[in-house]
Amino acid sequence: MLGEAVAFARQGLTVLIYDKRSVNYSLFHRSYAQLADDALGAVATLRKEPGVDPGKVGIWGLSEGGWVAPLAASKSKDIAFVVVVGANALQPLRQQTWAVAAGLRKAGVGGSLVEHAEPKLYRVIADGDMFPEPYYDPEPVLAAVRQPVLAIWGVHDLLTPPRETPPIFRAALEKGGNRRYTFRFFEKADHAAHVTPDGGVTRLPELAPGYAELVGGWVAKATSGQAPVAEVSGPAPVQAEDSVGTPPPAWWESAFAQTAVLALFLAGFAGYPAVAVVRRIRGRGAARPTPTNETTAAHATPTAETAAVRATSAKETAAVRSTPAKETAAVRSTPAKGTAAARVVSAGGLAAALGGFAYLFYLMSTGGKLAAPGPMLLGRPLVWLALQAVAVATVVATALAARTWRRERATGERVRLGLLVAAGVAFVPWAFYWGLLLP
């Protein structure tokens, strides 16, 4: 904001900038009311500065400040005017969901990843108290603002829906009886009203031509009782897709329900191989009996008679064992297929569930403006296509494993397979919900 401060100072304004608080402010927690109080503290400080007319001190807010600045103005008559840049009249959760989806679409991504997985992930995150102020409603606050308002948007804003927000902003102000507002759109400008050469992805240091001059001239009018009335100008903003609603999830979509399903997946999918490992360890221990002195002595000094018996019965033993060999192989061939299907369910379910969430969180952390989904094929990231293929294989293998479970007679193995199949059955609606089984 130093660049803006210098540019405004050159227009004859006295500017105070301050660092945003770091205490009680994080990715998971913040309070707009507390941030508004911080802004009011800055206003009080500037009003006391020598050479500053305390009746002509206003507030400027960028991006998140577009929620905070009006809130501060609605709380205090000490604020003479409000300037917001890249402001948002939507709920924060809806705005963020739109921004990441817009970045994915700009990167060429379409289908279930954008339409289903991304917005649902944000709703679950908000339900789990990991998204601050998700349903903050700015409209009642805007309706309570009585000061003159200057709102500025770059036509290539990729973080705030630039076509949807201004009408809501205007309607809220007029609902409160405030028509002293000026809306201005700047061409070739981004979210912060800086020049952008590539449609909002890259932000150059230069402010949009005329931005600083507009602020200087408008503040002079607003503080002298000549604020423009209902003035809107500039080129139409660019917004390819509308935002979508992000209501609180139903109980079966909630963070608690999703956590419970993941716990079932871990128990069923990971429990299957875990039991096999435990059995193998126990089997190795049982296969190592401690030899007795009697057995050792017998092996150490075999009699001729014993040797003769062994030699004589060798062919007989071989003959006896040769007969059931095919029978044994035939008996074991059927469970082998079931075991293979069970292994696919176990590995595929874990890979799709954990890998899906890991990939979505990666996109969330890199989204906005322009996402980095990786290599693409037919408008789908290869990572997402691979996860979808694994999900389909898991569903098919679950059906095969269920047939094996129905034929299983051993109680221990039946329980083990039953838990795996239960996880696989629960996986089907879960995968549809998250878009892994949708185009």
Give the model's pLDDT for residue 339.
Answer: 85
Of 154, 233, 161, nearest to 192 (Cα)?
A: 154
The low-confidence residues of the chain, meaning pLDDT below 50, are 290-334
Look at residue 76 in the predicted model and tell me its pLDDT.
Answer: 96
Give pLDDT, residue 287. 55
Distance CA 9, CA 193 (A): 17
User: Which distant-in-sequence residues (6+ apart) come within 8 Å of 174 by Cβ?
Assistant: 230
Position 338 scores a pLDDT of: 65
Query: What was the pLDDT predicted at 286?
Result: 60
Q: What is the pTM of this model?
A: 0.83
pLDDT of residue 288: 55
pLDDT for the residue 318: 36
In terms of Cβ atoms closer than 10 Å to its own Cβ (0-12, 13-18, 19+), residue 287 is exposed
Pair 432, 392: CB distance under 8 Å? no
